[in-house]
Structure 1
Amino acid sequence: MTHQYQCPAAESRTCFKYLGAIIADEGSKPEILARIAQATAALAKLKTIWNDRNIALSSKIRLMRSLVMSIFLYACESWTLTADTERRIQAMEMRCLRKLLGITYRDHISNEEVRNRTRQAIGPHEDLLTTVKRRKLKWYGYITRSSGLAKTILQGTVQGGQRRSRQKKRWEDNIPE
């Protein structure tokens, strides 16, 4: 069921929430920001687990990936990634890892050191931004091999002129990147 949803990013624009995802005329940024907020709230609710010294770091990371990152990654296949949203996704992942490791920004430990400590705990793993991009490519491949309405919509064009300004980044612009 759809209902009118007021975007937090811009009050003058309209958007709506459908099946838990925010559909906005300004792109994917409101959806990504909402997902970051929901994942951060889930991370905060599990504070007792993150602070418990009896739970191994590898278990904490597995819990974070299943309980927090799954909330964030919902419907990520439809996002249009810009440089700003990519930075926000990486910052959210680092915030989660620092919370698990008990590292504050006042400790002056670099992001690379945080990644190294995580690698030592669970071995090589895929970072969050790579996961989003991989899921987008997987969905694109699925759609291009099918012969349904989604393929027609993805490959279709809209008649009419284009307004004068810089072209907005489209979902399919991320595929060649």
Structure 2
Amino acid sequence: MGAIVTDEGSKPEILSRIAQTTSAITKLKLIWKDRNITLRSKIRLMRSLVTSIFLYACESWTLTADIERRIQAVEMRCFRRLLNISYRDHISNQEVRNRIGQAIGPYDDLLTIVKKRKLRWYGHVTRSTGLAKTILQGTVPGGRRRGRQRKRWEDNIPEWTGLKLPDALRDAEDRKKWREVVGRASVAPLRSTRLRDR
């Protein structure tokens, strides 16, 4: 699937995923315009043929405010294409979400899915005994650079759970307890489109 791993963080990988997702949904425009296919079926097709491309290896991402905004934007782009809504129609994002909800009922938005997957993977690795756990919990000698620090992968865990890392680590050891934490923490607040990169 061509995942990109660099020392620049997750942004290059996520921008690549957005481009691939946009390309995939554009190639399927005949399906989105077909009036003989129900909206419910179109949403299922989008999740299996388009959303899966975007979510590949999302457990490894480090999310900033800018990246969260981009994830919400790509989801809206897909929904608008699905509903054949032009941006010139002046239909709000909330109205788009309402139409999707009416078709399939309550659903997790794309940002919430990314958060759930990352938190579940954190719990899975914490309970394991392999190399992934050593890498995740290991430290290296030396200090961090001066100035504002770049956001790290594990910084998202306390943000989303409200737990300090040692407490999150302890809770993740208990599968049932961690499942409850993931359920509570994964409700993604809608970010303002005016948020700048952090």
Whether TM-score is above 0.5 comes out as yes
Mapped partners of 2:144, 2:59: distance in 1? 26
- Higher strand fraction: Structure 1 or Structure 2? 1
Once the two structures are superposed, residues 1-55 of structure 1 have per-residue CA deviations (whole angstroms, 9 ceiling, x without a partner) of xxxxxxxxxxxxxxxxxx6210011100000000010011000000100011111
Percent of counterpart pairs with the same letter?
Answer: 79
Q: How many residues align?
A: 159
Does the alignment pair 1:137 with 2:142? no
RCO comparison, higher one (Cα < 8 Å, 6+): 2
Query: Is the partner of 1:61 in helix, strand or coil?
Result: helix
> Which residue in the other structure is 1:78 paired with?
60
Does the alignment pair 1:41 with 2:31? no
> Which residue in the other structure is 1:25 paired with?
7
Does the alignment pair 1:112 with 2:112? no
Cα shift at 1:165: 1.6
Report which stretch shifted further, 149-158 or 68-77: 149-158
Mapped partners of 1:24, 1:120: distance in 2? 41
Does the alignment pair 1:65 with 2:47? yes
Where structure 1 has 5 or more consecutive residues not aligned to the other structure, the ranges are: 1-18
> Quick one: which amino acid aligns to residue 103 of structure 2?
A
Report which stretch shifted further, 81-90 or 150-159: 150-159
User: TM-score, normalising length from structure 1?
Assistant: 0.88
RMSD, aligned CA: 0.8
Matches within 5 A, 1:88-107: 88-107=70-89
Query: Is the partner of 2:5 in helix, strand or coil?
Result: strand
Mapped partners of 2:2, 2:80: distance in 1? 28
Cα shift at 1:148: 1.1
Cα shift at 1:161: 2.5
Mapped partners of 2:144, 2:123: distance in 1? 28
User: TM-score, normalising length from structure 2?
Assistant: 0.79
> Quick one: which amino acid aligns to residue 20 of structure 1?
G
- Higher helix fraction: Structure 1 or Structure 2? 2
